[in-house]
Amino acid sequence: MRTSAWKKLAVAATAALLFSSLSGFAQSGSTDESKRKVKTKTAPLYPELARRMNVSGKVKIEVVITPDGRVKSTRVVGGHPLLVQACQDAVKEWKFATSSEETTQVVEFEFHGN
């Protein structure tokens, strides 16, 4: 009986670990639909320290977009310090639809801890 109980516990622990690893990824950022359309997105990597500390929450990044759709600059509007760099790094890789002028919009990312 003891062996069976340990096996069940090991299976449950493995499943819980796998689930927590998967739920720790950040959602890709969202933007207001009235803004420029995102052509290519890169999801931020959940920072290892933030994951271990079970840090979750939203990060808002203001993005300046060139007329040809590249990200010119970013500025943190809000969010946990352990999460903001990953979001800035990811959004700098995004490509937006072209426009006749430079635009600015806010992108929001959400991280879910364990």
> Residues 1-44: pLDDT tens digits?
455 544 444 444 433 333 333 333 444 455 554 589 999 999 99
Helix (H) or strand (E) segment spanning residue 73: strand 71-78
> Residues 66-103: pLDDT tens digits?
999 999 999 999 999 999 999 999 999 999 999 999 99
Which CATH superfamily does the domain covering 2-111 fall into?
TonB (3.30.2420.10)
Place of tokens 């500390």: 53
Q: CB neighbours of 45 closer than 8 A, spacing ≥ 6?
A: 26, 86, 90
* Structure-block tokens of residue 81: 């310090």
State the pLDDT at residue 80.
96
